[in-house]
Chains A and B, each alone.
Chain A
Amino acid sequence: MLDFIVQRLVQAVFVMLVVAMISFSLFQFVGDPVNNMLGPEATTEQRLAAREALGLNDPVPVQFGKWVGNAVQGEFGQSYRMGRPVNELIASRLPATLELVFVSAILAVAVGVPMGVYTGLNRNSWLSRVFLTVSLVGISLPTFLIGILLILLFGVTLGWLPTFGRGGLTSIGAWETSFLTARGWSHLILPAITLALFQLTLIMRLVRAEMLEVLRTDYIKFARARGLRQRSINFGHALKNTLVPVITIMGLQIGALLAFSIITETVFQWPGMGLLIIQAINFGDIPIMSSYLVLVALFFVIINLVVDMLYYVVDPRLRIERPTSAH
């Protein structure tokens, strides 16, 4: 048990270090940080002073060490473009993205998994066919197009819902949330659906495939031969066995939501991290890019850890060693 967790943690730290290295190289070697901070008019003395102040004259490993030290404390320097500390910028944008991703993830999983299970169990029902057809359209529609269509329909034609930015925010400390007012939700609902739809159809199709795979196994056939009730076969034996691959899928898809939130935020002008990074990329704002990279990697690593832990809970083959004497 402890072995497993330690091993996963070591792996996570390793991944983070690699990402940190990439991020650091971005920050330090791409473009000229001094130039970027001082502008082209600075004098040579100013430049040298700035180099010294930034620690650019230190050996690279020392610089890296310092950089990691700062990063751990959430210190990523100043945005070139906005002249504000990166951590402040990110802190102000993070809640918007996290709330959006959170709602979309719940939506995608809560709708996608049952639909996948249903279509897996009832392969030939008409509802399954409808779900499958819809899902095929779903994975063929790019997220941005879904967003545009939803805006056109609910925003422009029907005028029911706002299509731009956040609204109705309530502050809880530094965290501004959309969850506490109806207006907040009305702003959230279209972006969340847009973001969830593609993942939802993907999750549904993958869960269905897994379900079909499990239903073909010998132990399901044997469970039938033992006369177990259909319900307990489907929802006990089959569903539990699809859980392992489904957890992997969901882990990956929630990670993907973060990436796709960039698109959704662009379409809906949702003031989150995605919008921040798109602007940073267009302006070559390296500190924001490198900190975003670290943050995203952290997010993925945490999701992966959670997924591994869940595996561990679900699958006894990981939890319990097989006997050494077994042939």
Chain B
Amino acid sequence: MQNTRTSPEITAPDVPASSPRMWRRFYEGGKRFLDGDVFDSFKRSPATIIAFLVTLAMFLAALLAPWVAPYDTYDLRSLDLMNAYLPPIWTDGGDPRYLLGTDDQGRDVLSAMIFGLRISLLVGFSGVLLAALIGTILGLVSGYLGGWVDSLIMRIADVQLTFPAILIALMIDGIASTMMSTQARADFKIYVIILAIAASLWVNFARTVRGSTLVEKNKEYVQAAKVIGIHPALIMYRHVLPNVTGPVLVIATLSLAVAILTEATLSFLGVGVPATNPSLGTLIRIGNNFLFSGEWWMSIFPGVVLVILVLAVNLLGDWLRDALNPRLR
């Protein structure tokens, strides 16, 4: 045996992609999941199954919007003011071409909703992803390094927690409004919202990951790895991250619901995504102007879709939390 070889258990590189071992791992992972408690509790909860199917359907609709939606609402040529204010087809004056009616521009409400869903989910997902990334990294750093770095990060988190996303987004937007042209501001807005959502959601991730890091840090194998001289970053990547996947997934799911609501709220206030690229919240805001004149369908349908989406995601998050933490059942 050569001296250059170090202990294979600890330093063996990750399984290379497409190796048979990787596929076996996938297969076994999948099998374990299907036999496991998590999937079993899923099978036993009809509400969760429905929530999952609803979420899946909405994701697919959003993803495939250009093919699913009856009209392309971005194509201004397809709009005709002659078709504006048409009610849903089952009411008097409904037009068979427009299932859920049209808005003040003659846009098909159903199509606008599907494209709106796309924007809402895009913003929500990006916000949560960014928050999870920032939160996980800061949590790892905070927990692993400890000392003043830890105090500083946690203090910022405390302050951050008291400032709701809406305020952050409003402030950033307010500043942007004085510094940018209207056009630039509109282009920039979607990023502002994603950033604001991430800024308000990272704290939960950071706290959870930090807690878990603190626990793992003092375990013997981590200490042993350190003695052998393995880089701390690698230790955390290998040992801490797998332990927090569950909690992070739960937080991410519940955060997605919050993110979608925040985006909708901001868009409703008029500081969200611009009307040229309407999200569900924007559609509700526009529709709200016509609510009292009787054109209820413009705001109610997007509102219902929004609530169902958030409800489904919340149900999934609740279920996931309970399934991964059997004590709570």
Contact = CB atoms under 8 A, between A and B. Distances in A.
Direct touch of chains A and B (CB < 8 A): yes
Interface of A: 15, 26, 30-31, 136-137, 139-145, 148, 152, 156, 212, 216, 252, 255-256, 259-260, 262-263, 266, 277-278, 280-284, 286, 289, 293, 296, 300, 303-304
Given A136-B314, A142-B265, A212 B177 contact: no
B247 to A, nearest CB: 14
B303 A281 contact: no
Given A136-B314, A282-B177, A145 B284 contact: yes
Contacts of A140: 257, 261, 307, 310-311, 314
A201 B291 CA distance: 27
B175 interface: yes
Given A142-B261, A142-B265, A156 B292 contact: yes
A262 B257 contact: no
B178 A260 contact: no
B47 to A, nearest CB: 9
Contact of A293 (B159, B171, B178, B315): B171
B299 to A, nearest CB: 7
A136 B167 contact: no
Interface residues of B, number: 40
A263 B268 contact: yes
A228 to B, nearest CB: 24
Nearest to B158: A304
17 contacts: A136-B315, A140-B314, A142-B265, A142-B268, A145-B307, A216-B327, A252-B162, A255-B164, A259-B163, A266-B268, A266-B269, A278-B170, A278-B269, A281-B174, A284-B178, A286-B174, A296-B167
B179 interface: yes
A216 to B, nearest CB: 7
**4 cross-chain pairs, A with B, having the tightest CB-CB distances, nearest first:** A284-B178, A259-B164, A31-B178, A281-B174
Contact of B164 (A139, A256, A280): A256
B179 A31 contact: yes
B307 A30 contact: no
B306 interface: yes
Interface in B161-188: 161-164, 166-167, 170-171, 173-175, 177-179
A128 B189 CA distance: 42
Nearest to B302: A145
B178 A143 contact: no
Contact of A259 (B161, B166, B261, B327): B166
Interface of B: 159, 161-164, 166-167, 170-171, 173-175, 177-179, 257, 261, 264-265, 268-271, 281, 284, 288, 291-292, 296, 299, 303, 306-307, 310-311, 314-315, 318, 327-328
Given A145-B284, A148-B291, A216-B327, A136 B269 contact: no
A30 B31 CA distance: 58
A289 B167 CA distance: 11
A280 B291 contact: no
B179 A30 contact: yes
Contact of B306 (A145, A283, A284, A293): A145
Contacts, number: 98
Contacts of B328: 212
B123 to A, nearest CB: 14
Contacts of A252: 161-162
B311 A144 contact: no
A29 to B, nearest CB: 10
A18 B303 CA distance: 39
A289 B314 contact: no
By CB atoms of chain B within 10 A, which of A284, A286, A304 has the most?
A: A284
A142 B280 CA distance: 12
Nearest to A136: B314
A143 B314 CA distance: 16
B295 to A, nearest CB: 13
B311 A284 contact: no
A220 to B, nearest CB: 14
B167 A284 contact: no
Contacts of A266: 268-269
Given A140-B307, A142-B261, A15 B288 contact: no
A322 B210 CA distance: 26
Given A141-B310, A142-B281, A216-B327, 9 more contacts: A137-B307, A144-B268, A259-B164, A278-B269, A278-B270, A286-B178, A293-B171, A300-B162, A304-B162
Contacts of B307: 137, 140-142, 145
A178 B106 CA distance: 43
A217 B327 CA distance: 12
Contacts of A284: 174, 177-178
B274 to A, nearest CB: 13
B269 to A, nearest CB: 6
A254 to B, nearest CB: 10
By CB atoms of chain B within 10 A, which of A142, A143, A156, A282 has the most?
A: A142
A304 B167 CA distance: 18
B162 to A, nearest CB: 5
Contacts of A148: 284, 288, 291, 299, 303
A30 B175 contact: yes
B284 A139 contact: no
A143 B310 CA distance: 13
Contacts of B177: 281-284
A210 B259 CA distance: 24
A282 B178 contact: no
B270 A282 contact: yes
A263 B269 contact: yes
By CB atoms of chain B within 10 A, which of A30, A140, A283, A304 has the most?
A: A140
A135 B164 CA distance: 21
A281 B166 contact: no
A152 B178 contact: no
A52 B292 CA distance: 52
